Amino acid sequence: MIDVKAELESWIAGGLAAVAPAPAGAAVSLERPKQRQHGDYASNAALQLAKAARRNPRELAQAVIAALPPSPWVAKTEIAGAGFINIFVSPAARQAVLARITAERERFGRGSARAGERVMVEFVSANPTGPLHVGHGRQAALGDAISNLLQWQGADVSREFYYNDAGVQIQNLAISVRARAQEILGEHTTFPEDGYRGEYIREVAQRYLDEVGHDLGDIEVIRHFAVAALRREQDLDLKAFGVAFDHYYLESSLYTSGRVDATVERLTASGHTYTQEGALWLRTTDYGDDKDRVMRKSDGGFTYFVPDVAYHVTKWERGFGTAINVQGSDHHSTVVRVRAGLQAVGLGVPPGYPDYVLHKMVTVMKGGEEVKISKRAGSYVTLRDLLDEVGRDAVRFFLVSRKADSEFTFDIDLARAQTEENPVYYVQYAHARVCSVMRQAGVAPADALAAFADADCALLTSPYEETLLSRLADLPDELAAAARELAPHAVTFYLKELAADFHSYYNAERFLIDDLPRRRARLLLAAAAGQAIRNGLAVLGIVAPEAM
């Protein structure tokens, strides 16, 4: 089907080639002007190429326009500012998106920019020491949406969860469960000062006593049971959230398989390590760190970034040329040292590997007050708490609705509200309205695009229709940009704008009118809007309801 923007980019490129051949690798791209009076698309190609062509940018833009042949997609062109070329498209160009949506349906918005690229997206990766908290929920929503965006651009994406099932925190978990089990049995015990105190620990302890028995002498048996129990609980929370992983990787396996030792040997052989005061150090300053880092302490134990390096070596060796980690902003300090270790290991890992999306934490509000604790977790709000309060769709939409590195306040009252102030309700209601219109027209919503495919789109010329058509045409570019920038919040912005355009159209015009040709054209436009909303919500892992 016709991609009008691509056609126009090729058209401008042809005009440029006639007057100022572009350097190798240069490409013409069009952007939407911020103000509609500046046209439908704008190109700054004349400004970019003016220096190489040794010409004034505005004069070059005039020469390009003079060299352009007539196009059925263009009503007129103008030169603005220092040399921008503004393009005003023809009605046929604006209406062409309907034929594309009708043909592509659920594929509308997909691209091939990352076809053949193997990508690992690691997210959540929570310690199996308790229920998932709202920060993990933000990671889950971000990671899943980023994975979907990359898949929509053709990438072969693998979702991975890394379980930190080794180390001090897991030992504390086991000791905490044993202490609670002893309390349940009426034995005198002292609860560890840095133990886990949520009610869920007592629940795990009771299950241990019921399923394993009252012998609490083997702390390793308790540790394995507690980790497995909490992993199951986290898996259930993620299932309720609609998030699934392709692979789970255990930190403990890095030790049992010898990968940590092998990584240390590689780093030592690379010549980037040294021994000082009985400890083994890595010269991370060779790779931009502010100071060198200890790898193996004088007591023989490894510092926490060493297994991280070993783990990322496995990603590279498994063939993932792109790796993206979605983590909390508290991991900021590990970025440089993990990348440094990967470069020093001598496998040809590039300097920016892996990519990081670091998110800030979430403040939960209800009734105008901050909610800080959960009855089960004891010290934090869990993902399950939010799901029980407002449902999966609202949680997913809200948690990706801001840039990952911005603070976010989750307002439970807003997420429950059935008003246009609630963005997810507003977007889903637009889709439900489309479906309602189709049912009133006697057509099943799923069949609407096919039912009106032969409508006369030339009748769609009102300002509301032009605005909605332009918005629909932007979906592929919006999704491509969000994938490039790992920014699913951009999809929520687009969906809110699309919903606003449809609601305005719905309130301004009638669909079921006596003028049959115009009626069919309007119904086709409404059906196309519904398809675009469905596709955008699908990227975010959110349902598009047919009734509300």
pLDDT at position 318: 98
Does 144 score more than 90 pLDDT?
A: yes
> How many angstroms separate the CA atoms of 345 and 260, rounded?
12
Does 131 score more than 90 pLDDT?
A: yes
* Cα 431 from chain centre: 22
Q: What is the pLDDT of residues 169-179, one digit of tens each?
A: 999 999 999 99
In contact, 196 and 176? CB cutoff 8 Å:
yes
Q: What is the pLDDT of residues 62-78, one digit of tens each?
A: 999 999 999 999 999 99
Record the tokens describing residue 493, joined without a space: 């912005």
> How many angstroms separate the CA atoms of 385 and 484, rounded?
33
Q: What percent of the chain has pLDDT over 70?
A: 99
Does 41 score more than 60 pLDDT?
A: yes
Q: Give the mean model confidence (pLDDT) for residues 23-33.
A: 77
DSSP conformation letters of 506-532:
HHH--SS-S-HHHHHHHHHHHHHHHHH
pLDDT at position 167: 83
Q: Give the mean model confidence (pLDDT) for residues 346-370.
A: 96
Least confident of 187-196, 237-246, 304-313, 519-528: 187-196
> How many angstroms separate the CA atoms of 140 and 161, rounded?
10
Where does the pLDDT of residue 54 fall: very low under 50, low under 70, confident under 90, or very high at 90 and above?
confident
In contact, 400 and 410? CB cutoff 8 Å:
no
Record the tokens describing residue 464, joined without a space: 């509301």
Which contiguous run of DSSP H or E holds residue 434? helix 423-440
Residues 6+ apart with CB under 8 A from 395: 137, 141, 241, 383, 386, 387, 415
Mean pLDDT computed over every residue of the chain: 95
Record the tokens describing residue 166, joined without a space: 């080794």
Where does the pLDDT of residue 25 fall: very low under 50, low under 70, confident under 90, or very high at 90 and above?
low
Q: Are strands 279-282 and 74-80 parallel, antiparallel or unpaired?
A: unpaired
Q: Give the mean model confidence (pLDDT) for residues 430-457.
A: 98
Which has more pLDDT, 197 or 226?
226
Helix axes 57-67, 45-53, angle to 10 degrees: 110
Does 61 score more than 80 pLDDT?
A: yes
Nearest to 261 by CA among 310, 303, 322, 315: 310
Which 8-state DSSP code applies to residue 362? E
Does 94 score more than 80 pLDDT?
A: yes
Which contiguous run of DSSP H or E holds residue 328? strand 322-328
Domains 4-89 and 420-539 share a fold: no
pLDDT at position 26: 63
Residues 6+ apart with CB under 8 A from 37: none
Q: What is the pLDDT of residues 412-421, one digit of tens each?
A: 999 999 999 9
The type of residue at 169 is Q
In contact, 163 and 173? CB cutoff 8 Å:
no
Q: Give the mean model confidence (pLDDT) for residues 309-335.
A: 95
> How many angstroms separate the CA atoms of 362 and 415, rounded?
14
* Cα 119 from chain centre: 13
3-state secondary structure of 387: helix
Q: What percent of the chain has pLDDT over 90?
A: 88
> How many angstroms separate the CA atoms of 328 and 326, rounded?
7
Q: What is the pLDDT of residues 499-523, one digit of tens each?
A: 999 999 999 999 999 999 999 999 9
> How many angstroms separate the CA atoms of 310 and 138, rounded?
26
Q: What is the pLDDT of residues 474-497, one digit of tens each?
A: 999 999 999 999 999 999 999 999
pLDDT at position 315: 98
Q: Give the mean model confidence (pLDDT) for residues 156-178.
A: 94
DSSP conformation letters of 57-87:
HHHHHHHHHHHPPP-TTEEEEEEETTTEEEE
Nearest to 302 by CA among 169, 428, 166: 166
Q: What is the pLDDT of residues 378-387, one digit of tens each?
A: 789 999 999 9
pLDDT at position 333: 85
Tell the burial category of 69 from Cβ atoms under 10 Å away from its Cβ (0-12, 13-18, 19+).
Answer: exposed
Q: Using omega within 30 degrees of 0 as the cis cutoff, is the peptide bond preceding 354 cis?
A: yes
Which 8-state DSSP code applies to residue 496? H
Which has more pLDDT, 334 or 424?
424
For the chain, the structural domain boundaries read 4-89, 362-416, 420-539
Where does the pLDDT of residue 51 fall: very low under 50, low under 70, confident under 90, or very high at 90 and above?
confident
Tallying the residues shown for the chain, one arrives at 548
Nearest to 312 by CA among 114, 125, 116: 125
In contact, 143 and 121? CB cutoff 8 Å:
yes
CATH annotation of 420-539: 1.10.730.10
Sheet containing 41-43, strands listed edge to edge, beginning at the edge strand earlier in sequence: 41-43, 84-89, 74-80
Which has more pLDDT, 45 or 318?
318
Record the tokens describing residue 121, joined without a space: 């997206």
> How many angstroms separate the CA atoms of 118 and 130, rounded?
32
- Cβ neighbour number for residue 496 with a 10 Å cutoff: 18
pLDDT at position 311: 98
Q: Give the mean model confidence (pLDDT) for residues 319-331.
A: 95
Residues 6+ apart with CB under 8 A from 437: 506, 511, 512, 523, 526
Q: Write down the residue that tokens 């990603």 correspond to.
A: 315
Alpha helical stretches, state H, 105-167 = 134-152
In contact, 365 and 411? CB cutoff 8 Å:
yes
Does 375 score more than 80 pLDDT?
A: no
In contact, 48 and 12? CB cutoff 8 Å:
no
Which 8-state DSSP code applies to residue 442? T
CATH annotation of 4-89: 3.30.1360.70
3-state secondary structure of 240: helix
Q: Are strands 322-328 and 118-123 parallel, antiparallel or unpaired?
A: parallel
Does 22 score more than 70 pLDDT?
A: no
